[in-house]
Amino acid sequence: MSATETVLLHTDAAHPHDFTRAEVGWAPHLPPLPEEELTERHLDGLVDAARAKNDYFRLLARDPEVLKARTLVDKDIFYNASEGLPRAERELAATAASRRNGCVFCASVHSRFAAHHSKRVDDVDLLLDEGVDAELGERWNAVVAASVALTDTPNAFGEDEIVRLRAAGLDDLEISDLIHGAAFFNWANRLMLSIGRPVAPA
């Protein structure tokens, strides 16, 4: 699609009123590639063929090589959890960054994973309801605070956050995983908020 062919999409679908673990929709501001027009190159960029059904990924598939690199990084951060930070706390970091950035869609997705893997549903809901200053116990408080520091001003993240994470029991590999999860979603939120908007649960 050339610049002269760009069509902005608008929708009357309702915005979500609150952060939630319910399934939030997402509407693109630009037209995704039609599913029937996806080539082998596009499908390779999607990594998972099922993502061809998703407007967000079909929009990103306009640059399939970048999408593939983005998707492989995402999968490695969140699914390669045999060592390092437990999956629940990787998802907590993504939820905290998304809550701070105001990305209702990303917060809904990753809060569901955080609640599922941790079984701490009430604490996850408290983070969504009260924000990043919610009292979640020191280990989770430290994870959230570090994620927020990276989200607000990445180059301000430093020794204070590392000391607090170590005091809460995280080792260097776990801290590295937390940084990757929060940093990835700090970027991903801004992308998702720039090219579309959340839609309230049905």
Q: What pLDDT, in 10s, does the model give residues 43-93?
A: 999 999 999 999 999 999 999 999 999 999 999 999 998 899 999 999 999
Tokens 């082998």 — which residue? Answer: 40
Within-domain flag for 93: yes
With beta carbons less than 8 A apart as the criterion, state whether 138 and 168 touch. yes
Domain count, the chain: 2
| Residues 95 and 147 placed together within one structural domain of the fold | yes
Within-domain flag for 61: yes
| Residues 52 and 96 placed together within one structural domain of the fold | no
Is 0.75 surpassed by the pTM of this model? Answer: yes
| Residues 104 and 153 placed together within one structural domain of the fold | yes
In this prediction, residues 159-186 reach a mean pLDDT of 96
- What is the C-alpha end-to-end distance of the chain, expressed in Å? 32
Domain residues for the domain of 65 are 25-77
Angle between helices 87-101 and 172-195 (to 10 degrees): 40
Which tens digit of pLDDT belongs to each residue from 85-122?
999 999 999 999 999 999 999 999 999 999 999 999 99
| Residues 94 and 190 placed together within one structural domain of the fold | yes
Within-domain flag for 200: no
Q: Which of 77, 102, 119 represents a domain boundary (last residue)?
A: 77
| Residues 114 and 141 placed together within one structural domain of the fold | yes
